[in-house]
């Protein structure tokens, strides 16, 4: 700590001395002080001052290639690509085979959109470089493919880098992006399993493996891989979070809770994590615990829409409809493009008998999430609850252009049945039972009395034996 303080003090004194010097050309610049000053001005986002320093340095050290590279990088930072190219050409004249010049020239060509020239430079340089330099060239090649948005080639380029250096963290971090965008999940799994066989403590390899498994629906394997990732690297926070997210996706809420508690223990309390914990408790029917935790989350972040949504869920469970309505409305004030917020707000209005607002919000839910069956069903069910089977059928007709599923068919069958269109109801019911018999309990939930219809009983018995 003392050494760092001395260093900071030295840098402050250096900057003050430089800025108070009236004749900058006479300022005593050494190679080290040039780097210190440029580092300072870059950290302050003052690129003009950094360029001033490097220009002074080039007058004094006109054969120092490092300063030409610094100037080219600074010019790139302010998008002066052509000027950067002119500077790199001067550096190239001084040291034509310098690897850092090749790498920066590739970046400049990429910024110019000259990808073929950039690849050509790399290819011609590979034959005369050592192993470490070749790794840098391969990473630079990956940079080109990334700019070209050729994510398949990006994956294979990064794979080659990792074959040479399995511990290259930059390549390990980038390769998952390439997999996600190229969808080469199987190739990624095969590669990372082989890498892990030789390097079992590579936390990023385990993380990448877990992500690939998740994308192909192998959730148990994904969870296991992500667990290895954060067990190896205990500070790798994103692995904890991603693992917990998959646990929620697979409805393993108890495991997700354990992970979220680990996150708080290791990284501190955060509103988003408390919301996740509250969500888990809601799914586990621990509504009192959920509400207590969510109220803590509100204090940490009063602008988190999900906090209010889940508080609404807690109040809804207690049948405190006005509290639930206020919570859902607050969530919508913060984020007005979440269909579940409008859906549950509409259902709550239905419970207090405000049918106009119930219909308005349920309709809004279907507009925002037209592909979501539950939004259409919630709207139709509400209309059925007030005996507007004709309007419910219109809603289900509107859903046909956006959503499909046996649950919509069961609901449609009940509507037709209640409108005394029994033949049509039986026909639709047969289609629903044939598509998914296991959901027939939804039919009985919507209209319990239908189980006494002899024709329906016969259909249930028939399709239940298939």
30, two tokens = 């050494």
**Confidence at 12, pLDDT banded by 50, 70, 90:** confident
Q: What is the pLDDT of residue 34?
A: 84
* Residue 3 pLDDT class (50, 70, 90 cuts): very low
Are 282 and 314 contacting, i.e. CB atoms less than 8 angstroms apart? yes
pLDDT at 24: 67
Q: Give dist(CA 152, CA 80) in Å, integer.
A: 30
Spatial separation of the C-alpha atoms in residues 126 and 105, rounded to whole Å? 15
The number of distinct structural domains making up the chain is: 1
- Is residue 414 domain-resident? yes
Q: Are the CB atoms for 191 and 159 separated by under 8 Å?
A: yes
Indicate the average pLDDT of the chain. 93
What's 26's DSSP letter? Answer: G
Note the pLDDT of residue 57: 87
Please write down the long-range contacts of 391-397, taking CB distance under 8 Å and 24 or more positions apart: 393/419, 395/366
Helices 321-334 and 305-317, packing angle to 10 deg: 170
> For residue 4, what pLDDT is reported?
41
- Phi, psi for residue 336 in degrees, rounded to 5: -100, 20
Q: Output the pTM of the full model.
A: 0.84
Mean pLDDT of 391-402: 97
Comparison of pLDDT for 283 and 21, the residue scoring more: 283
The predicted structure's pLDDT at residue 428:
98
Contact between 90 and 108 (Cβ < 8 Å): no
Domain assignment of residue 432, given as a range: 405-466
| pLDDT at position 5 over 70 | no
Angle in degrees, 0-180, between the axes of helices 287-300 and 271-283, rounded to the nearest 10: 170
Section 196-203 average pLDDT: 98
Whether 42 contacts 34, CB under 8 Å: no
Over residues 209-213, mean pLDDT:
98
Decide if 410 is inside a domain.
Answer: yes
How much is the average pLDDT of 290-316? 98
- 29-33, 193-197, 398-402, 445-449: lowest mean pLDDT where? 29-33
Contact 189, 161 (CB under 8 A): no
In a domain, 447, yes or no: yes
pLDDT value for 68: 93
Q: Please tell me the predicted confidence (pLDDT) of residue 2.
A: 42
- For residue 128, the model assigns a pLDDT of 77
Residue 62 placed within a domain: no
Are the C-beta atoms of 432 and 409 separated by less than 8 Å? yes
With pLDDT > 90 as the criterion, what percentage of the chain qualifies? 82
Asked if residue 437 is part of any domain, the answer here is yes
pLDDT over 60 at 400, yes or no: yes
Which residue, among 80, 404, 258, 124, has the nearest Cα to 412 in the 3D structure? Answer: 404
> What pLDDT, in 10s, does the model give residues 410-451?
999 999 999 999 999 999 999 999 999 999 999 999 999 999
**pLDDT interval class at 26 (50, 70, 90):** low
- Average pLDDT value for residue range 333-354: 98
* 369-389 tens-digit pLDDT: 999 999 999 999 999 999 999
Res 133 pLDDT > 90: no
Strand, coil or helix: what is 268?
coil
Q: Which residue has the higher pLDDT, 99 or 27?
A: 99
Residue 22's pLDDT band (cuts 50, 70, 90): low
**Angstrom distance (rounded) from CA 34 to CA 67:** 9
What single-letter DSSP state applies at residue 52?
H
pLDDT exceeds 80 at position 1: no
The reply to whether 301 falls in a domain is no
In a domain, 245, yes or no: no
Task: Kindly state whether residue 239 falls inside one of the protein's structural domains.
Answer: no
Q: What is the mean pLDDT of residues 59-84?
A: 92
Burial of 441 (0-12, 13-18, 19+ CB in 10 A): exposed
Strands (DSSP E) contained in 53-201 are none
């Amino acid at each position: 700590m003392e050494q760092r303080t001395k260093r900071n003090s030295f840098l402050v004194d250096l900057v003050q001395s430089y800025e108070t010097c009236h004749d900058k050309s006479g300022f005593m610049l050494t190679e080290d002080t040039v780097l210190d000053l440029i580092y300072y001005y870059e950290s302050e986002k003052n690129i003009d001052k950094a360029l001033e320093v490097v220009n002074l340095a080039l007058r004094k050290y006109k054969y120092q290639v490092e300063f030409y590279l610094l100037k080219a990088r600074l010019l790139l930072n302010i998008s002066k690509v052509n000027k950067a190219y002119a500077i790199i050409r001067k550096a190239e004249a001084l040291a034509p085979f310098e690897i850092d010049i090749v790498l920066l020239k590739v970046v400049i060509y990429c910024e110019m959109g000259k990808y073929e020239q950039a690849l050509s430079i790399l290819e011609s340089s590979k034959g005369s470089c050592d192993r470490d330099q070749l790794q840098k060239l391969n990473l630079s090649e990956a940079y080109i493919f990334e700019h070209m948005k050729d994510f398949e080639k990006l994956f294979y380029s990064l794979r080659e880098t990792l074959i040479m250096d399995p511990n290259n963290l930059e390549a390990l971090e980038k390769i998952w992006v390439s997999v996600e965008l190229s969808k080469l999940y199987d190739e990624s799994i095969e590669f990372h399993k082989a890498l892990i066989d030789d390097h079992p403590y590579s936390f990023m390899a385990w993380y990448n493996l877990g992500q690939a498994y998740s994308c192909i629906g192998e959730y148990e394997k994904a969870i296991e891989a992500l667990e290895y990732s954060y067990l190896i690297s205990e500070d790798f926070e994103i692995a904890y979070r991603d693992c917990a997210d998959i646990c929620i996706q697979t409805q393993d809420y108890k495991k997700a809770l354990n992970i979220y508690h680990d996150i708080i223990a290791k990284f501190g309390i955060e509103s988003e994590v408390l919301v996740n914990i509250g969500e888990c408790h809601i799914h586990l029917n621990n509504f009192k615990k959920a509400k207590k935790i969510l109220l803590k989350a509100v204090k940490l972040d009063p602008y988190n829409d999900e906090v209010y949504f889940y508080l609404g869920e807690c109040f809804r469970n207690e049948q405190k409809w006005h509290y639930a309505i206020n919570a859902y409305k607050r969530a919508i004030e913060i984020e007005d493009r979440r269909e579940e917020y409008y859906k549950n707000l509409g259902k709550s209005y239905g419970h207090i008998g405000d049918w106009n607002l119930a219909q308005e919000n349920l309709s809004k839910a279907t507009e925002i999430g037209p592909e979501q069956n539950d939004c259409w069903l919630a709207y139709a069910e509400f209309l059925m609850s007030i005996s507007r089977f004709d309007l419910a059928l219109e809603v289900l007709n509107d859903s046909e252009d956006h959503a499909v599923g046996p649950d919509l068919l069961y609901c449609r069958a009940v509507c037709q049945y209640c409108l005394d269109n029994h033949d049509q109801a039986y026909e639709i019911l047969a289609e629903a039972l044939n598509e998914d018999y296991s959901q027939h309990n939804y039919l009985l939930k919507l209209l319990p009395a239908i189980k006494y219809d002899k024709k329906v009983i016969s259909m249930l018995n028939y399709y239940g034996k298939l």
